[in-house]
Amino acid sequence: MDFGSILSAALSSALGPQAIVFALAAIGLNIHFGYTGLLNFGQAGFMAVGAYGLAVTVVTYDQSFWLGVVVALVAPVVLALVLGVPTLRLRADYLAIATIATAEILRLVFGAVETREVFGGSNGLTGFAKTFQDLNPYSGPLDLGIIRFRPDDLWSLTVGWILVALGCLFVWLLMRSPWGRVLRSIREDEDAVRSLGKNVFAYKMQALILGGVFGGLAGLFFAVKQASVVPSDYSTNITFYAYTALLIGGAARVLGPVVGAMIFWFLMAGIGAFFSQATAGSDPLIPTWAMSDIQASLVRLILVGLGLMLLMIYRPQGIFGDRKELAIDAR
Amino acid sequence: MRLTSKVLVSAFLACLVVLVPLGASATSTPTPSASPTAPTAPATPPDGAYIGVTLQNSGDDKAPIPGATLSVASASGTEVGEAVTDPNGRAFIAIPERGSYVVTLDTDTLPAGIQFGGSNKRTVDALLDGGNFAQFQIGVVEQAGPSLGERFSGAMVNGVKFGLIIALAALGLSLIFGTTKLTNFAHGEIITFGAIATYVANRAFGLPVILAIVVAVLASAAFGWLQDKFLWKPLRSKGIGIIAMMIVSIGFGLLLRNLFQYFFGGSRESLSQYVNQTRQSYGPFQLADKEIAIMAVSIVVLTITCVVLMRTRLGKSMRAVADNPALSASSGLRVDGVVRSVWVLGCALTGLSGGLLAVNSQVNFLMGFKLLLLVFAAVTLGGLGTIWGALIGSMIIGIMVEVGTLQIGIWPGVPSSIKEVGALVVLILILLIRPQGILGRAERIG
| The pLDDT value given to residue B414 | 79
Asked if residue B4 belongs to a domain, the reply is: no
Cβ atoms of residues A188 and A127 within 8 Å: no
Segments of chain A with pLDDT less than 70: 324-331
- Domain residues of chain A, as ranges? 3-330
Tell me, yes or no, whether B171 and B89 share the same domain.
no
| The pLDDT value given to residue B65 | 72
- Provide the pLDDT confidence category of residue B13 given band limits of 50, 70 and 90: very low
Tell me, yes or no, whether B18 and B127 share the same domain.
yes
Asked if residue B3 belongs to a domain, the reply is: no
Tell me, yes or no, whether B122 and B171 share the same domain.
no
Sequence-distant (6+) residues with CB within 8 A of A237 are A44, B254
Report percent pLDDT > 90 for chain B: 40
- Provide the pLDDT confidence category of residue B112 given band limits of 50, 70 and 90: low
| The pLDDT value given to residue B121 | 67
| The pLDDT value given to residue B45 | 66
Tell me, yes or no, whether B160 and B109 share the same domain.
no
Tell me, yes or no, if B250 comes closer than 8 A to chain A by beta carbon. Answer: yes
Tell me, yes or no, whether B222 and B307 share the same domain.
yes
At residue B248, φ and ψ (nearest 5 deg) are -60, -40
Q: How would you write chain B as a 3-class SS string?
A: CHHHHHHHCEEEEEEECCCCCCCCCCCCCCCCCCCCCCCCCCCCCCCCCEEEEEEEECCCCCEECCCCEEEEEECCCCEEEEEECCCCCEEEEECCCCEEEEEEECHHHCCCCCECCCCCEEEEEECCCCCCCCCCEECCCCCCCCCHHHHHHHHHHHHHHHHHHHHHHHHHHHHHHHHHCCCCCCHHHHHHHHHHHHHHHHHHCCCCHHHHHHHHHHHHHHHHHHHHHHHHHHHHHHCCCHHHHHHHHHHHHHHHHHHHHHHHCCCCECCCCCCCCCCEEECCEEECHHHHHHHHHHHHHHHHHHHHHHHCHHHHHHHHHHHCHHHHHHCCCCHHHHHHHHHHHHHHHHHHHHHHHHHHCCECCCHHHHHHHHHHHHHHHHCCCCHHHHHHHHHHHHHHHHHCCCCECCECCCCHHHCHHHHHHHHHHHHHHCCCCCCCCCCCCC
Number of Cβ pairs < 8 A linking chain A and chain B: 147
Q: Calculate the alpha carbon distances from B107 to A54, B3, B65, B116, B406 in Å.
A: 44, 20, 12, 7, 34
Among candidates A108, A305, A308 on the partner chain, residue whose Cβ is nearest the Cβ of B420: A108
- Provide the pLDDT confidence category of residue B186 given band limits of 50, 70 and 90: very high
Cross-chain Cβ contact A298/B262 below 8 Å: yes
Tell me, yes or no, if B33 comes closer than 8 A to chain A by beta carbon. Answer: no
Residues 55-94 of chain A whose Cβ lies under 8 A from any Cβ of chain B: 85-87, 89-94
User: Structure pTM?
Assistant: 0.80
- Provide the pLDDT confidence category of residue B62 given band limits of 50, 70 and 90: low
Cross-chain Cβ contact A308/B127 below 8 Å: no
| A143: three-class secondary structure by DSSP | strand
d(CA B429, CA A131): 40
Greatest mean pLDDT range, A112-116, A144-148, B112-116, B212-216 = B212-216
**Residue B31 in this model has a pLDDT that exceeds 50:** no
Cβ atoms of residues B114 and B65 within 8 Å: yes
How near does any CA of chain B get to the CA of A148, in Å?
31
Name the residue among A112, A84, A314 with its Cα closest to residue A207: A84
Cross-chain Cβ contact B255/A305 below 8 Å: yes
| The pLDDT value given to residue B10 | 35
Asked if residue B201 belongs to a domain, the reply is: yes
Tell me, yes or no, whether B84 and B168 share the same domain.
no
Tell me, yes or no, whether B153 and B295 share the same domain.
yes
Residues 100-159 of chain A whose Cβ lies under 8 A from any Cβ of chain B: 100-102, 104-105, 108-109, 111-114, 116, 121-123
Cross-chain Cβ contact B247/A243 below 8 Å: yes
d(CA B70, CA B153): 34
d(CA B373, CA A259): 32
Cross-chain Cβ contact A113/B238 below 8 Å: no
Residues 412-431 of chain B whose Cβ lies under 8 A from any Cβ of chain A: 415, 417-418, 420-421, 424-425, 427-429, 431
Tell me, yes or no, if A232 comes closer than 8 A to chain B by beta carbon. Answer: no
- In tens, the pLDDT along B126-135 reads 664 333 344 4
Name the more confident of B319 and A22: A22
Tell me, yes or no, whether B164 and B134 share the same domain.
no
Q: Which residue of A has its CA nearest to B101?
A: A113
| Degrees to nearest 5, angle at CA A44 with B191 and A237 | 40
Query: Which residues from B are below 8 Å from A311, CB to CB?
Result: 251
Q: Which residue of B has its CA nearest to A238?
A: B254
Sequence-distant (6+) residues with CB within 8 A of B164 are B294, B295, B298, B299, B302, B394, B395, B398
How near does any CA of chain B get to the CA of A162, in Å?
31
ipTM above 0.90, yes or no: yes
At residue B216, φ and ψ (nearest 5 deg) are -65, -40
Tell me, yes or no, if B102 comes closer than 8 A to chain A by beta carbon. Answer: no
> What single-letter DSSP state applies at residue A232?
G
How near does any CA of chain B get to the CA of A150, in Å?
30
For residues B91-99, give the mean pLDDT.
Answer: 73
Q: Would you mind telling me the total number of residues written for chain A in this entry?
A: 331
Sequence-distant (6+) residues with CB within 8 A of A12 are A147, A148, A149, A269
| The pLDDT value given to residue A328 | 52
Query: Which residues from B are below 8 Å from A309, CB to CB?
Result: 248, 251-252, 255
For residues B79-93, give the mean pLDDT.
Answer: 74
Tell me, yes or no, whether B156 and B128 share the same domain.
no
Asked if residue B224 belongs to a domain, the reply is: yes
Tell me, yes or no, if B19 comes closer than 8 A to chain A by beta carbon. Answer: no
Name the more confident of B54 and A84: A84
Among candidates A86, A123, A307 on the partner chain, residue whose Cβ is nearest the Cβ of B432: A86
Greatest mean pLDDT range, A289-293, B50-54, B221-225, B389-393 = B221-225
| The pLDDT value given to residue B47 | 62
Cβ atoms of residues B435 and B445 within 8 Å: yes
d(CA A269, CA A260): 14
Cross-chain Cβ contact A328/B253 below 8 Å: no
Tell me, yes or no, if A286 comes closer than 8 A to chain B by beta carbon. Answer: no
Tell me, yes or no, if B307 comes closer than 8 A to chain A by beta carbon. Answer: no
Which of B428, B433, B434, B436 to probe the A interface (max A CBs under 10 A)?
B428
Domain that holds residue B19: 11-138
- CATH number of the domain at B344, please: 1.10.3470
Asked if residue B242 belongs to a domain, the reply is: yes
Sequence-distant (6+) residues with CB within 8 A of B163 are B394, B395, B396, B397, B398, B399
Query: Which residues from B are below 8 Å from A101, CB to CB?
Result: 373, 376-377, 424, 427-428
Query: Which residues from B are below 8 Å from A102, CB to CB?
Result: 424, 428
Element at A299 (helix H, strand E): helix A293-314
Cβ atoms of residues B164 and B295 within 8 Å: yes
| The pLDDT value given to residue B120 | 66
Name the more confident of B61 and B286: B286
Tell me, yes or no, whether B97 and B196 share the same domain.
no
**Residue B138 in this model has a pLDDT that exceeds 60:** no
For residues B278-298, give the mean pLDDT.
Answer: 89
Tell me, yes or no, whether B152 and B118 share the same domain.
no
How near does any CA of chain A get to the CA of B352, in Å?
24
Tell me, yes or no, if B259 comes closer than 8 A to chain A by beta carbon. Answer: yes
- Provide the pLDDT confidence category of residue B94 given band limits of 50, 70 and 90: confident
d(CA B218, CA B224): 10
Greatest mean pLDDT range, B77-81, B202-206, B405-409 = B202-206
Tell me, yes or no, if B38 comes closer than 8 A to chain A by beta carbon. Answer: no
Sequence-distant (6+) residues with CB within 8 A of B313 are none
Mean pLDDT of chain B: 79
Cβ atoms of residues A219 and A46 within 8 Å: yes
Tell me, yes or no, whether B104 and B156 share the same domain.
no
- CATH number of the domain at B31, please: 2.60.40.10
**Residue B154 in this model has a pLDDT that exceeds 60:** yes
CATH 1.10.760 for domain A3-330: no
**Residue B446 in this model has a pLDDT that exceeds 60:** no
Among candidates B258, B418, B431 on the partner chain, residue whose Cβ is nearest the Cβ of A108: B418
Burial class (CB in 10 A: 0-12, 13-18, 19+), A281: exposed
Cross-chain Cβ contact A93/B425 below 8 Å: no
Report percent pLDDT > 70 for chain B: 76
What is the number of structural domains in chain B? 2
